[in-house]
Each structure stands twice: as structure tokens, then as C-alpha cells.
């Protein structure tokens, strides 16, 4: 059984919905939990610590240990205070769950720069700020488990969510880099892509389907992603009891001789370029460069390495 006895987790946006579910499930398995929530609306308006305090009460009533903190994840000083307070109370921060988020949905033609920037600030910059606040602490302790929260809106796209989709795909890129940088310190970074009925999905999903989409079914995946034996660099899609891995592949592509490196020849060969046979999941950005260099070197008879 996966347990977290002696571990401490910060869960952002944990006053309601998925964050609350994550916090409760971690606490049930022995984790000390910092319940972070600004207490704003789904649109990012207002602030109140009451939601976070209620979750703390639920945890403590069941014999668990928790504390509430109302840090705004976009404010580095407030996040730093949260981390320092957590370390003072529990001794360390072992786990960070970047869950806090807001929505400002509109078609791109109607979306303002303010709405775009605010969503990116909360989801992407907020996750960066929280991760930055625990990163050196985790490096010093040679242990860390970090979960980003992405979305199918970022991985695949969804009408009216250009701001949300951009931020959510940005988190996949952040995970990819941090997993490489944190590997030797046993900092494992993964991403959750959830489907659940929360305040953010009200009005978007038929009522008959809502009872299948429990936050707890998503939290089961999240808890695994931050466990002792967590995977690395995994995008875990979870919802309604379904679990899958989302992956980004690159096709083998083609090599075009110097005289054929023109837009016209690219168009002529586009079917071969996009053919999926032999596609690979690359482990870092250099993989693409080395692949293309190998093609060119083979053509010119140049030895690499």
C-alpha cells in the first residue's frame, strides 16, 4: 500500500475540487498536508482562507496533520512564506502538487490580453514560482516529488481556451526540463491531465455523466505520481476511473539533399515526413538534432563521434 508517513506535501488550490480531493487522499495515507488556497472564485476573483481551513479541519478530524496557507501562487514572497512555514512546522517539504488554477474562457477573437496573461500567470507562472520555492530544498535533501497539472485542452486543444491551453502545454515543457535537471537529486517530476467534475466544469458536461467523474478517481492517479516509487516525466491522464498516458512522438521524417531543401520539396514529401511508422518518444531536445545530423552525415559520408 502506498503510504506517506513522515512526508509533507504542499497542495495548491486545495480548498475545493481536485485539490481538496488530493489533500484528503494524501492525508489519509499518512502525509502531512499544507492546504493552500487563495479562496478566490473559479475566475480568480476574491480571496478567503475559509475553504482551506475547512479542509484542514476535515483532515485533523480524521487524525491527520495539516495546516492552511492562503498564499497567492503568483506572489513569490507569499509562496516563500508558505514553504518556510511548512518546513518550520513539519521539518521538510517532500512533495509539491501544483494544482491551483482559474478559467477565463473566450474565443481568441474576443479574448483580451489581460485574460490571456492572467490565466498563464496563475497556471504556468504560479507552478514555476511554487516549484522554484521548494527546488533547492529538495536538491539539498536529495528527494522530491513534483506534480504539474496539465489538461487535454493544452495537449489536444479545446475551443475557447487558448489561454488555458497555452499555459497547460507550457507545464508539460516545464516538466520535461525539470525532470532532466532534477534526476540526480531523485527529484521526480510528472504531470497529471485530469478529467473531473469540479467548479471549472459546471455547465460543460451532461448531468447524467457527472456522477461518474469523481475527483477521487483523479486523485488516485495523482497520489501515485508523487509516491516513493513514482515514475518520471509521465503525463498521466485520469478521470471517471480511466487512466492513460499521453505521449509526444516524433516521426522518423526524411532527409532532403541540399538542392532539394526547398519549400516545394517539403510539400512533395509531406506524406513521408508525417508517416507514423517508426516514430519515437525522444528523451530530450538533443535527440532531434542528433537524428537530423545523422541523416546529413550519412548522405555526405561524414562520421559522427
CA atoms of 109 and 85, how far apart (whole Å) = 43
CA atoms of 305 and 300, how far apart (whole Å) = 15
pLDDT of residue 40: 57
User: Burial, 247: exposed, middle or buried (Cβ in 10 Å; 0-12, 13-18, 19+)?
Assistant: exposed
Give yes or no for residue 127 having a pLDDT over 60: yes
CA atoms of 72 and 127, how far apart (whole Å) = 11
CA atoms of 87 and 90, how far apart (whole Å) = 5
pLDDT of residue 84: 98
- The one catalytic residue in 164, 185, 243, 255 is 164
Residue 10 and residue 82 in contact, taking contact as beta carbons nearer than 8 Å:
yes
- Predicted model pTM: 0.93
Contacts of 91 (CB under 8 A, 6+ apart): 8
* Of 121, 71, 132, nearest in space to 96 by CA: 132
pLDDT of residue 305: 76
Is 243 assigned a catalytic role? no
Residue 102 and residue 42 in contact, taking contact as beta carbons nearer than 8 Å:
yes
What pLDDT digit, counting tens, does each position of 82-110 carry? 999 999 999 999 999 999 999 999 999 99
pLDDT of residue 297: 95
Grid coordinates in use for 18? Answer: 481536485
Query: Given the C-alpha cell 475545493, which residue does it identify?
Result: 16
Residue 194 and residue 238 in contact, taking contact as beta carbons nearer than 8 Å:
yes
* Of 239, 157, 151, 149, nearest in space to 196 by CA: 239
Give yes or no for residue 42 having a pLDDT over 60: no
pLDDT of residue 134: 99
Mean pLDDT of the region 212-241: 96
Give yes or no for residue 204 having a pLDDT over 90: no
- For 204, how many CA atoms within 13 A lie in the half-sphere containing its CB? 14
Mean pLDDT of the region 198-204: 63
Instruction: Tell me the pLDDT band of 46, cut-offs 50, 70 and 90.
Output: low
pLDDT of residue 213: 85
Q: How many Cβ atoms are within 10 Å of 208's Cβ, its own excluded?
A: 7
pLDDT of residue 47: 55
pLDDT of residue 208: 76
Amino acid at each position: 500500500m502506498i503510504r506517506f508517513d513522515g512526508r509533507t506535501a504542499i497542495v495548491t488550490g486545495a480548498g475545493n475540487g481536485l485539490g481538496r480531493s488530493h489533500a484528503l487522499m494524501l492525508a489519509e495515507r499518512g502525509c502531512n498536508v499544507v492546504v493552500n488556497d487563495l479562496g478566490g472564485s473559479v475566475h480568480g476573483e476574491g480571496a478567503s482562507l475559509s475553504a482551506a481551513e475547512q479542509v484542514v479541519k476535515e483532515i485533523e478530524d480524521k487524525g491527520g496533520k495539516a495546516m492552511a496557507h492562503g498564499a497567492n501562487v503568483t506572489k513569490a514572497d507569499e509562496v516563500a512564506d508558505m514553504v518556510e512555514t511548512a518546513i518550520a512546522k513539519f521539518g521538510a517539504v517532500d512533495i509539491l502538487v501544483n494544482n491551483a488554477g482559474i478559467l477565463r474562457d473566450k474565443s481568441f477573437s474576443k479574448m483580451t490580453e489581460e485574460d490571456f496573461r492572467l490565466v498563464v500567470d496563475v497556471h504556468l507562472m504560479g507552478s514555476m514560482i511554487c516549484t522554484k520555492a521548494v527546488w533547492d530544498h529538495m536538491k539539498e535533501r536529495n528527494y522530491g516529488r513534483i506534480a504539474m497539472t496539465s489538461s487535454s485542452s493544452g495537449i489536444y486543444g479545446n475551443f475557447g481556451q487558448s489561454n488555458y491551453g497555452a499555459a497547460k502545454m507550457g507545464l508539460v515543457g516545464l516538466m520535461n526540463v525539470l525532470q532532466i535537471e532534477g534526476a540526480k537529486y531523485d527529484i521526480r517530476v510528472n504531470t497529471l491531465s485530469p478529467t473531473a467534475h469540479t467548479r471549472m466544469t459546471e455547465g460543460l458536461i451532461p448531468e447524467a455523466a457527472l456522477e461518474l467523474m469523481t475527483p477521487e478517481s483523479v486523485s488516485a492517479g495523482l497520489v501515485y505520481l508523487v509516491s516513493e516509487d513514482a515514475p518520471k516525466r509521465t503525463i498521466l491522464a485520469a478521470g471517471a476511473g480511466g487512466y492513460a498516458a499521453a505521449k509526444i512522438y516524433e516521426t522518423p521524417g526524411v532527409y532532403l539533399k541540399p538542392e532539394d531543401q526547398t519549400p516545394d520539396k517539403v510539400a512533395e514529401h509531406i506524406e513521408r515526413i508525417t508517416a507514423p511508422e517508426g516514430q519515437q518518444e525522444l528523451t530530450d531536445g538533443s535527440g532531434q538534432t542528433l537524428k537530423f545530423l545523422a541523416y546529413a552525415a550519412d548522405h555526405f559520408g561524414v562520421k559522427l563521434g
